[in-house]
Amino acid sequence: MKQTKVSAASAAPRRSAAMLPALNFFLADVRDGLGPFLGVFLMGQGWQADDIGYVMTIGGIAGMLATTPLGALIDASRCKRMLLALGSVLVIAGTLALFISSSFAVTAASQIGTGIVGAIIGPAIAGITLGIVGQQRLPYQLGINEAWNHGGNLVSAALAGVLGYYWGLPAVFILMSLMALGSLVCIARIHPADIDHDVARGLEPGKVKELPGAVRATDTSALAVLAGSRPLQLLALTMLLFHLGNAAMLPLLGQSVVAQGLADPSLFTALTIIVAQLVMIPVALVAGRWAMRYGYWMLVMLALLVLPVRGLLAAYWNSVWALIPVQILDGVGAGLLGVALPGLVALILRGSGLINTGLGAVSTIQGIGAALSPAMAGVIAHRYGYGSAFMALGGAACLGVGLWYCFADTIRHEGRSNSLAVDTTMPPSAGRERGSG
């Protein structure tokens, strides 16, 4: 009888863990709102490239400012499922507002709301995942999560392209709503008791790690968390440079092709996503297995290296066929970082109780780059042409490569010291105290 109860108890977390891939699949089309379809949609409404860049930057800044407090909220909350569900609903509501009106005021308000609410989805998924599977299986599960997330992007982009081709871009709005409903079903099927909220924030019984700089679990400001960890500072600055070069690359590629009348807007935008997502799926799976054995440093370096090559190809190959190599490289970079970023933050801040706060802090810093990227690219494209804009975006990534290489030991030393702790901790299923949300 005891053995039966133990087996049933251990099976419950596995059932909730089995819903994580499906949850990531459906949230793929929700967390970024219209994503690359936004620029194409607004161009169809008569917007100019620089105005599109400005409104996307406004939304990016709003999301950037919200990331750290929302990460701290995820650390403190025992209702992570409810927050994730609320975020999904509100992201869709903000995006659907664009269907009613595409004025600058409505579009800016929609992007601000989407940025703020969308900022909670990443930390919420990371916290729920860590709380269910624990630190030891986190790299492996992150690879699976990312693969299914990219699979969701692939399917939704393919459907959006087909539906948009026959019925126009408004069909994309309907598709997003259906994907949001799917995510709500997955959230409902994750049992609240299967989430260990202490493990979800990085705490381990009897092993509370005090970071340099007197950072405590009660201190949730971005500056305090970053000041307490040099590896986290390096990671945040590197991600800022990466996203300064990366965030505008795909929307700008779509705008460049559409502006020259080389392809159908809906179909081309969907194809840019499909090519990248097809590559991201196997890359994410390989990255998760690589991180389990060798760590995360090389994954970040490879992601940085492919971005300048993307910029060169986009700048000098003025053809629809440039889509294939440019987006293959995008798939490599995004697939690697989707696993490496949350995994590195969890590793660096393990035992601090600040993992989701730290993830929010890094996301805030990288959000500066992501927010400035569309505005920078839009202004350069408007004044000097799309080729110059692509070169500028690739140049930002080159700075990130130099930074990551020069301070490699900062991350490697942190990874080695924490990897030893991984080998000696109890299995994540042992001694859990379950929460309520």
Q: pLDDT of 45-99, one tens digit each?
A: 778 777 887 887 788 788 778 877 888 888 888 888 998 888 888 877 777 777 7
CA torsion sign for 315, 320, 322, 324 is positive
d(CA 300, CA 308): 14
CA-only gyration radius of the chain, Å: 21
Compute the residue count for the chain. 437
Query: How many whole angstroms separate alpha carbon 200 and alpha carbon 217?
Result: 13
Helices and strands in the chain, H and E counts: 17, 0
Dihedrals φ, ψ of 215, to 5°?
A: -75, 130
Mutual angle of helices 355-384 and 249-259, in 10-degree steps: 30
Q: What angle do CA 331, 332, 335 make, to 5 degrees?
A: 75
Q: Give the DSSP letter of residue 425.
A: S
Q: Using 50, 70 and 90 to split pLDDT, how confident is the model at 428?
A: very low
Check if the beta carbon of residue 53 is closer than 8 Å to that of residue 115.
no
**In angstroms, rounded to a whole number, what is the distance separating the alpha carbons of residues 28 and 435?**
26
- Per-residue pLDDT, averaged over 328-346, amounts to 88
Kindly state the percentage of the chain with pLDDT values over 90: 9
Minimum mean pLDDT among 42-51, 144-153, 292-301, 308-317: which range? 42-51
Indicate the pTM of the whole model. 0.70
Q: Which residue, among 298, 371, 303, 337, has the nearest Cα to 149 in the 3D structure? A: 337
Note the pLDDT tens digit of each residue in 101-111.
778 888 888 88
Confidence of residue 221 (pLDDT cuts 50, 70, 90): low
Per-residue confidence band for 36, with pLDDT thresholds at 50, 70 and 90? low
Question: What residues have CB less than 8 Å from 117, skipping those under 6 apart?
Answer: 86, 87, 90, 91, 94
